[in-house]
Amino acid sequence: MATARTRNLTDTDFQKLLTLRTELRKILRRSETRAKQVGITPAQHQLMLAIRGHGESRGPTITDAAQYLMLRHHSVVGLVDRAEAAGLVERRQDADDHRAVRLRLTRKGNGVMQRMNSSHADELSVFTKSFQGLASGSGRS
């Protein structure tokens, strides 16, 4: 088994790590605030983003969503139950594998995601600017 080569981090490395974590927290905080403004919980927003961002047109399974959200399967089942009760998502049986259940946004869920659209564009812009600065070695952004 190969071992990872370690090196001592410099003060600049620690400054970059601090900037990285601070910028991530800022992005998450803005996203949470915007979710609340449009009437959903931050967890519902993350679930809906996992569904909308899933690359397969059939939609993700609950297992897929659990992996995206880094949560246990049963926790995501509860989250989906609440989002479904709020009219944001729906479960559909997979057309090819009838044992699998796929998640899709409802019309209401798609509308909520559209209302969050400007927030999403801002997140991507902030992320790009912040992390380009880190990659180029500028330290703080």
Report the CATH number at residue 62: 1.10.10.10
Domain assignment of residue 64, given as a range: 25-130
Residue 105 has what pLDDT? 97
Q: Which of 86, 77, 80 is nearest to 109 (CA)?
A: 86
Mean pLDDT of the chain: 88
Strand partners, 104: 90
Q: Tell me the per-residue pLDDT of 8-63, one tens digit each, with 9 for 90 and over.
A: 889 998 998 898 899 889 888 988 999 999 999 999 999 999 999 998 989 999 99
Report if residue 9 sits inside a domain: no
Place 140 in a pLDDT band, splitting at 50, 70 and 90: very low
Report if residue 141 sits inside a domain: no
- Average the pLDDT over 102-129 and give the result: 84
What sign does the CA torsion over 26, 32, 38, 43 have? positive
CA-to-CA distance for 107 and 11, rounded, in angstroms?
Answer: 50
- Number of independent structural domains in the chain: 1
- What pTM value is reported for the model? 0.81
